[in-house]
Structure 1
Amino acid sequence: MISPQCCFKYLFSGILGLSLILIQSSSPAQTVKKEKEFLKNQAASLTSSGHEQLALDRADEALKTWQESTKIYRQLNDREGITESLINQNLAFQALGLHKQACNTLLEALKLNTILDICDPILQQPAIDQKEQLTAVIGKQKPTSVNLLGLQNLGEVLRILGQLNESETVLQETLTLAKLVSSSKISGIYLSLGNIEQSIYQQLQDKSSWIEEPLFREQIANIIPQKAQKSLWYYQTLENIPNISKSAKLQAHLNHLTLLISWEKWLSNQPNQANLHQKVNQQIRVLVNQIDDNSSAFLELSPEPSIHARLNFANNLSQIPDEQLKSIAIRYSKLALKMAETINSIRWLSYSFGTLGKLSTQTEQKQAYFKKALGFAQSIRASDIAYQWQQQLGLIYQKQGKTELAIQNYNAALANMTQVRDSLLSSNGDLQLSF
């Protein structure tokens, strides 16, 4: 049986061959012009197809499609097309969990692959030298739309890889470039900067939970509020940008809420922070109402980001001790599930059922949700999702006195967690420790 990929390849070759035959009767100059137009249209078509494939959870196919478009742009010597198609390849690598490859692809897109070694912590220079070099090379980039997009993606990938200082430097320099041309990318860069500061804040919070030396622990405790405030400043700056889109404002609100809830929990365990704790608690309530009152913003996102946003909101609401908010969380989770069913996304079906499992109060229903969530995760061998539901099922079986089943699920969860920790995050010790 011929695979769909082979059919596509043969069809593309046939169309290309036929088109070349048809234009051979033209003059040499016209022939070259028509051939270039055809190839450019074909590359644009492949680019669109890749985005459609990625939206349907077919990242491996999207990667191959964008690799084909890159070849055509190289043939045309179209520098901007090459850069854009390499940035697209990075999106596919990220969706496949191959973040180091995504990082290196972005360096190639921005022509930095022969200058920088920031995708592998083992090859890194001292922090001061690295920051100076990053500042210098990024400052030389032209502030074009495609370059700014590539740099913002580079900052995001470095954050995922745990290269937090490098990510912060890249994003701050990118913001400086974007301001030179009043780029529309500024709001997205502010969001990325807020996220990186939140990641640094979270890493510090993780360290403070296991460090026993009192002086060092006190030093970290003093830095944590600074990083929280800096992240909040970026989110609030983004939210106050005139004429910002509803979807961009929603993403800032959701990340803002995640940070406030985490910070409120940390403050509740800190002496002499009662006033700040109360202030943050009030901010949480105001922000929750703003997000729910403007729920139409979820509809402005494409399907997968919309599902992610709804589940993000639901999970945040579940951490606030309020039964009315829990019912709102269930409503958002069910809307996410319906959308995941519509686009038939296995990963998001798993996340949706798992979130409903965490929100359910009835043991039988909770167990049924987690089993469905686990079944979807295992069907695509998603160990990064499966361990969460195996852990939850282990807890349920333990409470039911079904010790053998509980141990089986705990062991499976540990095996999957170890696999994620070793394979995905092997290059970064701090990220491993946090995980």
Structure 2
Amino acid sequence: MCITIPLFIPKTIGAEVSSTSSQSNILLDRADNAYASGNYQEAISIWLKVVKEQKPKSNQLATVYANLASIYWHTGKAGEAVKYWQESLKIYREIKTNKFDEKIAATLVDTARAYNDLGQPRFSIPLLTEAISIAKNKELNRVENMGYLTLGNAYTIQGDYSPAINAYKNSLKGIDRVDNDLPIVVWNNLSKGYQQQALITRQKAIAAETEEDLSADKLWQQVKSDRASAWQAAKKATEIRVNSKSMERVEALLQRAKIAQDDADKSSDVVDSLLKAEVILSALPDSHHKVYALIELSELTNNYDLRSKKILDSTVKTAQKIDNPKVSSSAYGAMGKYYESQQQYDKALYWTEQAQFTAQQIQALDSLYQWDWQTARIYNATGKTEAAIEAYERAIASLQSIRANTTRSQGNPLSEFQSDLEPIYRGFMQLLLSNNSDERNLELALQTKDLLLLSELEAFFEDDCFELETYSETDRLAYLKKTNTAVINTVIIDNKTYMVWQLPNGQFKKYALDITQQELQRLVNQWRFDLENKENDNYLALSQRLYDLLFTPEIKSYLETSELKNLIFVNDGILRNVPMAALHDGEKFLVEDYTIANSLGLNIQIKQPQPKIEKALAFGLTVGVNNFPTLPYVKQEIEQLGKLADEKGFLNEEFTKSSFKQQIESNKSSLVHIATHGRFGGNRENTFLQAYRSQIDLQELEEILSTHSLNFPSYPIQLLVLSACDTAAGDPQSTLGMSGVASRSGIKNVLGSLWSVNDRQIVTLIDAFYDNWIEDRLPLPDALRQAQLDLISSPDYHPSNWSSMILFQK
């Protein structure tokens, strides 16, 4: 959403300093000339000297600071720009005269734009609110237009597309009177806002459709409407100021071409838009903006003819002229990618190595990981497996070094992670697992899976503060052997799913399932639907089919002869959303043979908490609120817990957000039980718990639980129970909120429901679980298993009644 139209342009200030020395006039004239000739460093040096030695008057000093800020911003140093705009703003405010209101408003907007460039829209939004208010009162139309545009960009960076679209629409009011390319920028950004909103709504529509949610049709209508609006805005951006030969018009033409590519009826629009963009770019002066536009043009052109190579030749020459290593690296890498697409691997490797070398010179890790990944793909395509592995390792090492920046990207961080970065991890795992994997490669694949999970959680929570606890390999293997436990990792790739077992003796076994990701997702979603429907036994056929798919004859043979007792599943993707306990071998459920737990990653907890409950806190709703139905058995559920532990219960109107926060943060509670409607969707916005009058969102829940850990480090919460929540069945990320929030808050165990069971059976299950854990002192997985076995042997044997509760261990 970068725009190149400046609001504040460095101005000549020599005429303003007649009361100062002639030396000042000479210096300022020199600064003006340096700026005009593009010698920005000399202009900065002179202005800094004036500030230090000449002590100009306040309004003159404010202008000098603003000039410095503007140049820093235009040369890509947004942090320095913010510092000097803040100094300028401080002076204008201290003067306390209305004649500087316009400068205050303009400086607020410029400062906000710099904050946006730094990826800090939370700082820019308050500044823009004030700037827009001043502009409206003073009828400063140009400042108001730019203020709303910058506000729209701020919301876009946050991924809040609805307010972004509204801001862009407000920026369009009266914009026809503007005599520059600002209208093109606004219409173009509005098009991108609608386009991104359509992508997010599409994800919601697919999830709703998978769960047979009645809202799916409405969501698809919204997708259609947003796409139509994106197209209309893109057209408008290219149909105004048609004689403009600016970069803004180029960007608008490229946006129109991108949207048109998705519609076969608009193929002529693609060709026409790209040809116009190419003509304008050929006449524009060399700049980094031009290089990046040429790269985008080449990628779009490559989809309909062979002009891409010619454009890339021009791109490389332009990049070399402006002598910017970061830009040159991008140009070389784009050329390498082109040759890779043409399967000319020698040339692809040459240009990619040039991109790597150039990026290494300036330690541009955000570029380097892309070229290392590209190198890995090239080596893999030419059968050089070891070289490909080394390149993948470098790419992922660079990614881990810069993961804070990659998770705080513009738009929807989780969605962008899945489309842009996740393929790197999965491509590496596929390479390691698809060959005759030795033990080293299997361990490396599982380590990569852990790193993928770490990055996935960071993108989900939009935070880079996740850390995985590590245990020594010796301790972990000793635990597996002592407890007769096997760890089962699933790894889902596009065309195959891999199972990697680590047996109690430490030995690895790997095998591939010949099923595509799409087919596996279809089977798992249908199984989940059947498991929830207690009206019939349709689940059984898929329980058996998936068991046979996941457990090969070799593994079945091993299980029959081993003394294996415990299974810990480290599942991937859609398999996280279903209970492994309900798999069926044709005679009995898997849980009838084994104790089953789930883990986020390989660094599983190797010490079980002792059931010494200092205090239990229980919260729940029985009444229907916020369109949720009643939960009549919650009262009984909480009362039963009170018979086993020192419990404080908060029911219905006593269960508010404030009471929840106060109780959790001020009590040494070892057990927190929450029996209320909740939703764990595929992102933070779709994840919440329902209190009596309001919802507790994921961030609030995490902050409350984390505060408890800080307040009582010696009394951690041993177990968090979420007994009436729902996870989104069709979304592979839906359980990340449930398990991730516990892990981030220092809670090592969470017992949660995949779907809500509004029936007495859930009370029976929970009551038996607590009795087994607290009274009989069974380990948590064994306590859950025994409670499930009791229901399986009763008339209420249907897995809808007992399999929804799954145990996650850190």
What is the TM-score with the length of structure 2 in the denominator?
0.40
Q: Following superposition of structure 1 onto structure 2, how do residues 321-400 of structure 1 map, counting pairs within 5 Å? A: 322=305, 324=306, 328-360=307-339, 361=342, 362-400=344-382
Structure 1 window deviating more from structure 2 (329-338 vs 410-419): it is 410-419
Instruction: Tell me what 2:250 maps to.
Output: 250
Distance in 1, matches of 2:353 and 2:146, equals 40
Q: Deviations over 1:345-364 (max 9, x none)?
A: 23322211111111124212
Aligned partner letter, 1:80: E
Q: C-alpha distance in 2, partners of 1:429/1:342?
A: 33
Does the C-alpha gap of structure 1 residues 163 and 416 become closer, same or farther in structure 2, counting only changes over 3 Å?
farther
Deviations, residues 21-56 of structure 1 (Å, cap 9, x unaligned): xxxxxxxxxxxxxx35643552454245334533xx
Q: 1:138 to 1:193 in 2, by over 3 A?
A: farther
Asked if 1:288 is matched to 2:270, the reply is no
Match of 2:296 among 284, 287, 312: 312
**2 CA distance for matches of 1:140 and 1:72?**
21
Aligned partners of 1:36, 1:429: CA distance in 2, in Å?
40
Match of 1:126 in 2: none
Matched, 1:156 2:153: yes
Task: Decide which structure has greater strand share.
Answer: 2
What are the residue-to-residue correspondences of 1:16-165 with 2, within 5 Å? 16-17=54-55, 35=57, 38-39=60-61, 41-43=63-65, 45-54=67-76, 58-76=77-95, 78-95=100-117, 98-100=118-120, 102-111=121-130, 142-165=139-162
Q: Is the 8 A contact 1:397 1:403 kept in 2?
A: yes
What is the match of residue 227 of structure 1? 226
Flag structure 2 segments of 5+ consecutive residues without an equivalent. Answer: 1-40, 418-810
Q: Is 1:194 matched with 2:191?
A: yes
Structure 1 unaligned blocks of 5 or more: 21-34, 114-135, 265-276
Could you give the per-residue CA deviations for residues 233-279 of structure 1, whole angstroms, max 9, x where no partner exists?
Answer: 11212222256523243221111111222x24xxxxxxxxxxxx3x1
Q: Deviations over 1:274-327 (max 9, x none)?
A: xxx3x12333233333434xx13553477232222211111111233x3x3xxx
| 1:104-134 Cα deviation digits (max 9, x unpaired) | 2353144179xxxxxxxxxxxxxxxxxxxxx
Residue 366 (structure 1) shift: 1.0
Asked if structure 2 preserves the Cα contact closer than 8 Å seen for 1:349 and 1:373, the reply is yes
Aligned AA (1:286): D
Cα 1:259–1:10 shift into 2, 3 Å: closer
Q: How many Å separate the matches in 1 of 2:122 and 2:285?
A: 25
Q: Closer, same or farther in 2 for the Cα pair 1:76/1:47, shift >3 Å?
A: farther
The structure that has the greater radius of gyration is: 2
3-state SS of paired residue (1:176): coil
Cα gap change, 1:192 to 1:380, in 2 (>3 Å): same
Question: Match for 1:13: what amino acid?
Answer: V
Q: Which structure carries more relative contact order (alpha carbon 8 Å, separation 6+)? A: 1
CA distance in 1, matches of 2:160, 2:402: 18
> What is the CA-CA distance between 1:166 and the residue it aligns to?
1.6
**In the TM superposition, what whole-angstrom CA distance separates every residue of 1:76-129 from its partner, at most 9, and x where no partner exists?**
55333333334333444444xx322x452353144179xxxxxxxxxxxxxxxx
Counterpart of 1:299 in structure 2: which amino acid? A
Q: Which residue of 2 aligns with 1:402?
A: 384
Q: How far 1:169 moved relative to its partner?
A: 1.6
Aligned residues with identical type, % of pairs? 20
- C-alpha root-mean-square deviation of aligned residues, in Å? 3.8
**Aligned residue identity for 2:251:** Q
Q: Give the deviation of 1:224 after TM superposition.
A: 3.6
Alignment partners' CA distance in 2, 1:47 and 1:250: 27
1:53–1:239 CA distance, 2 compared to 1 (3 A) = closer
Q: Is residue 384–residue 417 contact of structure 1 (8 Å, CA) maintained in 2?
A: yes
Q: 1: distance between equivalents of 2:271 and 2:370? A: 28
**Structure in which a larger fraction of residues adopt helix:** 1
Q: 1:160 to 1:376 in 2, by over 3 A?
A: farther
Question: In 2, distance between residues paired with 1:314 and 1:304?
Answer: 15
Which residue does 1:12 correspond to in 2?
Answer: 50
Tell me the amino acid that sits aligned with residue 12 of structure 1: V
The Cα shift of 1:410 comes to 2.4
Alignment deviations for residues 158-207 of structure 1 (CA, whole Å, 9 cap, x no partner): 2122111121121122223546x667543322121111112223334556
